[in-house]
Structure 1
Amino acid sequence: MTDHATQPQPPDLRPPALARALRAIGFAGPARAWREDVLAEYGQALSRWYLDAAKSNSQTGDWRRINATPDVVVASDARLARERAAYLVASTEYGHRAVESMVDATIGAGIRTQMAVRWSRDEATAVRMNNEAEDAKARWAEVAFLKPAMHLFDGQNLWLKSTMQDGQAFVYRRYIRNRKVRGLRGLRPAPALCYEVIPTSRLTDVMVHPVAGHEVVGGIEYDADGEAVAYHIADDGYNYKTYRLPAEHVLHNFRVDRPGQRQGITWLAPVVQSLFMLRDIVEYKLIQYKVQSALCVLVSQDTGPGIVPGLPTPLGQSQTAAAGAQRQFLQAGMIHNVGPGRVTAFQPSPSGDLDPLSRLCLRGIGVGFGLSYERLSGDYTQVSFAGGRLTENAFKDRVDVVHAWYCRGLERPLHQDWVDYAMAVGDIPAPPAKADPYAATFTRPRWRRGVNPVQEVQAAILAIDNGLSNHYQELAEAGYDATEVLEGASRIKGFARKDLQLAIAKALDLDPEPAAPAEPGADQ
């Protein structure tokens, strides 16, 4: 048995502790670059430890097989369902549409951060601090993800899409020293803090090396209390090489559907079979239409060496098959001489139209995934006004639940990581004592009032007038930044007031600015 005291141990330093230690240093000049180097050194130390820990093997590490437990069975089933769901999303129109529609409605063009800092009683100062913090995070968001390098909004889209398709998503937090990103003018410096989305397929329980007393189930290492302590990830190019990533640096989020669940199951699991059946029905029906549209003839008489006089044999093909059947092809179909007594009839087409059956299948698939038939199929030809309104309201409630779940699982942890990092490098000032460090809310996607926009806006106005809502709440639910909208409206009102004053003065033939009264005794 290996002595684990000699095994490589992770550094004791943690990013939040490092951030607090560096807040006492100045926020300008060489000190800022030095802080970047220290943070990057910490990230390098973690990476070196990961590599050292991965050098163990089944001979030198405390590796043991895991007995067949219910979790193993569930993990095996989840893996099979995940592979089928990935195939459906990639190769079928309705599987792709189901995931894309939900992601577009939840993420939209990107979930932005709205700071809610209230350290100063002066409203103008508070607004300025919020705007500066939002601008700093927007600059970091440009290069927040790597492998591949992408914007924070693209990472949001990828994370939620992976969660729906695979049932779970893994985001690995990294600190990279002297990080560079490619721009229009070549490589340029980038913040050390970044994230990497790890594919679920790279989780492995083969050749893993857990700490003594721990077990690995489905690539996740658990301690005696059942808490996840590490994730075993296969190398991107060599499956036999694994990395042990501590759980405190991995965001693992999935929808919990039962007590004791350890890994997620694809959101498409309830509709996988229906999607496969619908795909087969449509495919076979299209093939049948294709055969019926082509010229296809069966000949059962023995007409000699040729089937139809004057019809040539296609180049490179034998006129007589091994069983004696003779074949000749036309451009649109086939003539097949099956010989006397061997003719068979075509299978008759199923009675009824394919469209009602497709709608029935799509309604069931939509119910299982949380989408309406119209959203899933893109068919709005038979929806009524009342039905469309009810459908959109129900879908909006569904999106609100998914959006809140998403923000709890990814946006808030990422925001807290960025706050610690930004304060450490001086991008934002440290909060005063006992102050909430950069509280924030997260925007919702723009919700178009498309069913009956006039009545919906009037209902919002009545709710505000009667104290049931406020401008901020209504604008936030519609996906707008309430502060920006109200500030813009205030500026427009100011411009309109000046234009009105100028128009009145011109109509009355008056000077826009009244002349100052003459001094007493001045010449008249």
Structure 2
Amino acid sequence: MNLKARISGLFKRQIEAGGGGWRWQGAPMLAAPQASTLAARGPAKARASALSVNNPIAARAVEAWCASLVGRGWQAQSQHPDRSTARDLNAAFEALIGPYLPMIARAVVRDGESFVRLHPRVDGFKITVLPADQIDPSLSRDLGNGARIVAGIEFDAEDTVTAYHVLRDAPGAPFAAYGETLRISASEILHVFDPIFPGQARGISWLSPVLLKLADFDGASDALLMNLRTQSLFSAFITDPEGGNAGFDGETGEGGEVNLALEPGATRILPPGADVKFAQPGSGLSDQVAFLKQQLHEIATGLGLTYAQLSGDLSQTSYSSSRVGILEHRRRAEMLQRQLIEGQLLRPLWRAWINHRALLGEIPSNALSDHHAVRFVRPGWETIDPLKEINAEIAAIDAGLKSRAEVIAARGRDVAEVDEERAAHPAITDEGKPA
């Protein structure tokens, strides 16, 4: 055996993931993730949409992530030196995007992506949330010189998005007209999605890892409920070896069966050989419920949620376990808030909005830098144990590990606004005087 063959055999034996054999038979492989996500995007989106409106667990998952990403809303904090101007900018921008944030977040979770079209007009700046399929997913074409269209998104030779090809009407909309797409510049559309693989052009539903299990869970839950309901229709089964009614009177059906009602407290002496077996609806139910509960744990894990968030079941939740689970979820949620909501939506939207107002003459062109400067405060998290957490924050501030601004921002507030409110409504001391 030559050296190359010996090295090849050595690596195959040591790295099981790259090996073969019967244990790997039937195991899925994803050789081309970009192409696979494009192929799966449509069916996954359609199934996720159906489950999110028919299945309570799927609906809860979408709403739980929407609440984590958006909460009670994002705050814009313009860094304009003039405080009055900053307040006006903040209020106008929040009024522009606020009503659309839940819709955008739901689309990102359910469909895997959301498209926001910007409408800079003479009479004002407006936005529209486009259905994902309105960006023509069937349009893929080589444009030459390295440029191409992939699932309705146009790239140049340097892999920069240059345009989106949008259908005139959303597929399935009433009176929809199907035909040529409109080529809209990338500067007029914001594409919000979380790419899983490098080079991924379109998003895929966040429910994808658990869609099959969700569908099976829904079917199993319904079957268990119908089984229990059917069992509850019967109270007892009476057997008479002579083919009679064992002394009972009732209504005789077409098949010769006798339907009767058993009166409370009644005593009957059955003929020799006759037997009564009482139905036991729900026998073995505890084992079935435990199995379904375990499936919910797996579904919650695949969705990046805690079991309590997904099921609403707090019966076995302690403070410590709840805090550990929530903190893990919040770390991922904060990453997605910064990358998706702030990075892909709010910041580019703010800049386009400010630039449009400058074109209309509402903002002096020499003051653009002051108007572009902005901070966004994500929605704050509710405390699990307010007393413990507030005391911990105070200790961190006193030790110099955190600033007041950092602590206040984590609660979804602006430190300047808090200070203004405190000045307008000072705290009362024990002597009844303002502090």
Distance 1:82 1:464 in 2: 46
Change (3 A) 1:290 1:240: farther
The partner residue of 1:395 within 329, 334, 337 is 329
1:88 deviates by 1.5
Distance 1:491 1:231 in 2: 50
1:371 deviates by 0.7
Distance 1:95 1:275 in 2: 7
The alignment's TM-score, normalised by the length of structure 2, stands at: 0.75
Distance 2:212 2:126 in 1: 38
Structure 1 unaligned residues grouped into runs of 5+:
1-68, 119-125, 145-151, 179-190, 314-318, 320-324, 332-345, 502-524
The alignment's TM-score, normalised by the length of structure 1, stands at: 0.63
The partner residue of 1:200 within 132, 146, 165 is 132
Change (3 A) 1:235 1:296: farther
Distance 1:459 1:273 in 2: 43
Maintained 8 Å contact 1:72/1:217? no
Q: Are residue 282 (structure 1) and residue 224 (structure 2) matched?
A: no
- Hey, what does 2:62 align to over in structure 1? 99
Q: Aligned with 1:195: secondary structure?
A: strand
Give the letter for the 2:205 counterpart: T
Distance 2:76 2:407 in 1: 17
Q: Aligned with 2:162: secondary structure?
A: strand
- Hey, what does 1:217 align to over in structure 2? 150
Maintained 8 Å contact 1:233/1:243? yes
Distance 2:400 2:156 in 1: 52
Distance 1:330 1:216 in 2: 72
Change (3 A) 1:427 1:459: farther
Query: Residue by residue, what CA displacement relative to the aligned partner does 1:249-291 show, whole Å, maximum 9, x if unpaired?
Result: 2111221211221111111111112211211111100010111
Q: Aligned with 1:414: secondary structure?
A: helix
Change (3 A) 1:357 1:446: same
Distance 2:206 2:285 in 1: 34
Query: Residue by residue, what CA displacement relative to the aligned partner does 1:378-432 show, whole Å, maximum 9, x if unpaired?
Result: 1112111211222222222222112111200100011111111223334445454
Change (3 A) 1:211 1:352: same
Structure 2 unaligned residues grouped into runs of 5+:
1-31, 170-175, 262-279
Q: Are residue 154 (structure 1) and residue 99 (structure 2) matched?
A: yes
Distance 1:474 1:366 in 2: 30
Between the two proteins, the alignment pairs up a number of residues equal to 373
The partner residue of 2:301 within 349, 367, 391 is 367
Q: Are residue 266 (structure 1) and residue 208 (structure 2) matched?
A: no
1:312 deviates by 8.3
Query: Residue by residue, what CA displacement relative to the aligned partner does 1:36-70 show, whole Å, maximum 9, x if unpaired?
Result: xxxxxxxxxxxxxxxxxxxxxxxxxxxxxxxxx97
Query: Residue by residue, what CA displacement relative to the aligned partner does 1:57-113 show, whole Å, maximum 9, x if unpaired?
Result: xxxxxxxxxxxx975543111211121111121111111111101111221122121
Distance 1:397 1:443 in 2: 16
Distance 2:187 2:70 in 1: 26
Q: Aligned with 1:114: secondary structure?
A: strand
Note the aligned Cα RMSD (angstroms). Answer: 3.6
- Hey, what does 1:80 align to over in structure 2? 43
The partner residue of 1:134 within 76, 90, 104 is 90
The partner residue of 2:360 within 380, 405, 425 is 425
Change (3 A) 1:328 1:84: farther
Give the letter for the 2:151 counterpart: G
Question: What are the within-5 Å matches in structure 2 for residues 224-235 of structure 1?
Answer: 224-235=157-168
The partner residue of 2:193 within 223, 247, 254 is 254
Query: Residue by residue, what CA displacement relative to the aligned partner does 1:137-163 show, whole Å, maximum 9, x if unpaired?
Result: 35xx2xx4xxxxxxx222111112111
Q: Are residue 109 (structure 1) and residue 43 (structure 2) matched?
A: no
Query: Residue by residue, what CA displacement relative to the aligned partner does 1:438-470 show, whole Å, maximum 9, x if unpaired?
Result: 311112213221x21111111111111121111
Distance 2:72 2:130 in 1: 23
Distance 2:128 2:158 in 1: 28
- Hey, what does 2:17 align to over in structure 1? none
- Hey, what does 1:445 align to over in structure 2? 379
Q: Are residue 168 (structure 1) and residue 102 (structure 2) matched?
A: no
Give the letter for the 1:161 counterpart: R
Maintained 8 Å contact 2:79/2:371? no
Structure of greater Rg: 1
Distance 1:70 1:376 in 2: 29
Q: Structure 1 vs Structure 2: percent identity of aligned residues?
A: 26
Q: Aligned with 2:73: secondary structure?
A: coil
Maintained 8 Å contact 1:235/1:242? yes
- Hey, what does 1:474 align to over in structure 2? 407
